[in-house]
Each structure stands twice: as C-alpha cells, then as structure tokens.
Structure 1
C-alpha cells in the first residue's frame, strides 16, 4: 500500500479510501460513486501493485456532513 500525507486525515471526518478492483474501469466507477455521496478529491492515477491482482486507485473524502 502506498503511503499518504497525514494532512489528509488531520481532522475528524477526513478519510483516505483506496479501492482495489479487477480492472481500471471498475475502480474508477467505484470512486465516482463515492463522489456522489461525499466531497472527494476524485480519483488518483490508477496503479498496480507488483505481485497482486487487479488495479488500485485512491481518493480523499470528507465524510462528515457540512455544519449549518
């Protein structure tokens, strides 16, 4: 798993979501679906982990509802 910057989870409600899928299209659809529900950064570049099946993609999200 790739590392991420601590600022991405520095407050309550901030999360890093890494999606593993069998193919790039499925991974990107999954991240798009998350974006329909939460404020996200959108998908990262898609990558492959050597020796592991499929592809991975990451998004950063705020899952806490806005105040007010």
Structure 2
C-alpha cells in the first residue's frame, strides 16, 4: 500500500512517527511531576539525537535551547 511505499522511500518515517507519538504522550501525561517531565524530555532528546534522523536531532537541539 501507500504507507509501505512511503516507508520504503523514507526509511526514517517509522522513527519520526514513533518519536512524535512519544513526545505527544509526554505532554498529555498530566500526572507527571515537573521533574519527571523534565527527565522524560531529556531522555527523549538523547534518543532523538542518537536516532540518526537530522530533523529529530535539530528539533531536539531547539527544545534544549528553549528550556527555561
């Protein structure tokens, strides 16, 4: 199908979709403390930077630079 073709043409698609969903779930977790959210975000950024996907690495760097 079309999704399989997209995945074959863009091998990083699965990684990007998975990482996006992980980030979305982090923000939706209203039970997490601020400290837990910060830790989860730091770990997500590390995985994004190690993923080999330039867009994820760049986005992670933007997140890190925007921390307050």
Larger radius of gyration: 2
Query: Same fold judged by TM-score > 0.5?
Result: no
Q: Say which structure is richer in strand.
A: 1
- Structure with more contact order per residue of length (Cα contacts < 8 Å, sep ≥ 6): 1
